[in-house]
Amino acid sequence: MTGVEEACEVVVLEDDDLVRDILTDLIEEEGFAVCPAATADDALARIDANDRCSLLLTDIDLGPGLNGFEAARVAQERHPGLPVIYLTGRPAHGNNRHFGPKERFLRKPFRTPELMEAFRSLGIFPRAASQGA
């Protein structure tokens, strides 16, 4: 693979193939370059390989291995200031948890405008839109 093939702005970490595909399509339609990942290890490798990565969008329940909170912690240790949006169908995951200024928490199901508002609130805009300004 070349660096061009690997270039991405948003890494989508979701273990469910259908949900990952839908999220990838939705975010690409909004003008972002997306790297989908099925495992935390894959997501971390994609983030490490891309200096253009500006956001990790992660489900919390990922099956065996690291969960979304753990994957985000590792990603933020390696890349301080990396924004993260956590997704979950289990709202209790957010109970008693402190989210930093570069983190957002969304419950599934959500609508595209809610997701894009979370992006904007973190200062994340498609590169094409920011370059045209």
pLDDT tens string for the chain (133 positions)? 334 345 789 999 999 999 999 999 999 999 999 999 999 999 999 999 988 899 999 999 998 999 999 999 999 999 999 999 999 998 787 778 889 999 999 999 999 999 999 999 999 998 765 444 4
Order of strands across the sheet that contains 84-88: 34-37, 10-13, 55-59, 84-88, 103-107
3-124 fold: Rossmann fold (3.40.50)
Phi-psi region of 31 (alpha: psi -120 to 50; beta: other; left: phi over 0): left
Confidence (pLDDT) at 29:
96
Structure-token match 């200062």, residue found? 123
Provide the pLDDT for residue 1.
Answer: 38
- Tokens encoding 23: 């999220």
| CA gap 130, 120 in Å, rounded | 12
Q: What is the Cα–Cα distance from 108 to 96, expressed in whole angstroms?
A: 19
pLDDT for res 52: 86
Give the whole-angstrom CA distance, residue 12 versus residue 130. Answer: 21
Contact 47/12 with Cβ under 8 angstroms?
A: no
Give pTM, 2 decimals: 0.90
Structural contact between residues 11 and 107, judged by C-beta atoms closer than 8 angstroms: no
| Among 46, 101, 99, 114, residue whose Cα is nearest residue 75 | 46
Residue 6: per-residue pLDDT: 55
β partners of residue 103:
84
* pLDDT computed for residue 51 by the predictor: 85
43 touches 11 (CB < 8 A): yes
Q: Residue 129 has what pLDDT?
A: 54
The residue with tokens 């983030």 is 47
